[in-house]
């Protein structure tokens, strides 16, 4: 998969991309990521990318022409990108489902805003405007990294075990079940022993599978019941959910 990120702070993107699973995928060539410095697409001596807002008001606005030139250069080098994403707190919510859909695109361009954001005419060249949540950050670099990371996990060959991606929280509309590793017992607060649930040490794979389903459903019901409306459940899970809801109603 090919990704281009346009930013005025390339170092904010390049360093995190060099580490971990994403760094290895780039090294192997599974992901072809280029970070483009927006200032390289200015034409003036001072490499100015922003200007005052028409109509007055605080802050500066990112000029449209360097962004258009950056997109033209990317197209000339790579061919027409089908997906140009504007990072914006005003965009549609970026979710696991959006990440999965975008992982099917051959080429994605991510535009990182700064200051008061982009001159609105930039939207002319944008296919999607996406927000990572209802809060405002100082720039689009962190959102672009978040999106790239979540998208890349769905690209075949990026995460070693694709099953783990399929089982992650949100992938089926459920939160993930709790995980434990060695040691089987450790002292918690006031020396109270914190034990791994017996079932996970039992070696009984059918019981473990059922326990994990139950825990995933129970966590989702407690923490994010809104997700259950869109969850795809098998018969066993549907029965477990009825049981959990029944037990909860009994307690109320
Ligand atoms: N004045 C803009 C508004 O209220 O919509 C906010 C601009 S923000 C300070 C600067 C840049 O950070 C935005 O252009 C966008 O690229 C990025 N950004 C900030 N919060 C974001 C979010 N929640 N999701 C995605 N991008 C965000």
Domain ranges of the chain: 2-163, 172-251
Q: Which atom of ligand 1 is nearest to the CA of 90?
A: 5
pLDDT value at position 36? 98
**Per residue in 51-66, pLDDT tens?**
999 999 999 999 999 9
Q: Looking only at Cα atoms, what is the longest distance across the chain? A: 72
**Per residue in 92-145, pLDDT tens?**
999 999 999 999 999 999 999 999 999 999 999 999 999 999 999 999 999 999
Determine how β-strand 61-62 pairs with β-strand 50-51.
antiparallel
User: In angstroms, rounded to a whole number, what is the distance separating the alpha carbons of residues 65 and 39?
Assistant: 11
pTM for the model stands at: 0.94
Question: What CATH architecture is 2-163?
Answer: 3-Layer(aba) Sandwich (3.40)
pLDDT value at position 251? 78
Q: Where are the alpha helices (DSSP H) in the chain?
A: 10-17, 20-28, 64-78, 96-102, 141-152, 162-167, 198-201, 205-223, 235-251
Nearest CA, atom 17, ligand 1: 140
Pocket test for ligand 1, best of 7, 89, 150 (most atoms within 8 A of CB): 89
Q: Is the pLDDT score of 155 beyond 90?
A: yes
Ligand 1 contact, 57 CB (< 6 A): no
Q: What is the CATH number of domain 172-251?
A: 1.10.1270.20
Taking the mean position of all CA atoms in its chain, how far away is CA 34? Answer: 18
Q: Which atom of ligand 1 is nearest to the CA of 59?
A: 1
């Amino acid at each position: 998969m090919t990704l281009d990120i346009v930013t005025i702070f390339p170092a904010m993107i390049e360093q995190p991309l060099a580490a971990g699973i994403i760094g290895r995928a780039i090294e192997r060539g599974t992901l072809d990521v280029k970070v483009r410095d927006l200032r390289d697409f200015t034409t003036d001596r001072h490499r100015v990318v922003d200007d005052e807002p028409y109509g007055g008001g605080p802050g500066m606005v990112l000029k449209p022409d360097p962004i258009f030139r950056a997109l033209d250069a990317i197209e000339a080098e790579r061919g027409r990108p089908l997906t140009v994403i504007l990072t914006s707190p005003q965009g549609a919510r970026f979710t696991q489902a959006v990440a999965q859909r975008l992982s099917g695109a051959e080429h994605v361009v991510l535009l990182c805003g700064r200051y008061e954001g982009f001159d609105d005419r930039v939207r002319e060249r944008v296919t999607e405007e996406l927000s990572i949540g209802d809060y405002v950050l100082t720039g689009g670099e962190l959102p672009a990294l978040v999106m790239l990371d979540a998208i890349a996990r769905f690209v075949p060959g990026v995460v070693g075990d694709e099953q783990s991606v399929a089982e992650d929280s949100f992938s089926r509309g459920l939160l993930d079940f709790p995980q434990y590793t060695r040691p089987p017992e450790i002292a918690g607060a006031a020396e109270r022993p914190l034990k791994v649930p017996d079932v996970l040490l039992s070696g009984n794979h059918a019981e473990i599978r059922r326990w994990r389903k139950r825990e995933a459903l129970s966590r989702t019901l407690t923490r994010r019941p809104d997700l259950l409306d869109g969850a795809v459940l098998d018969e066993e899970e549907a029965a477990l959910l009825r049981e959990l809801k029944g037990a909860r109603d009994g307690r109320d």
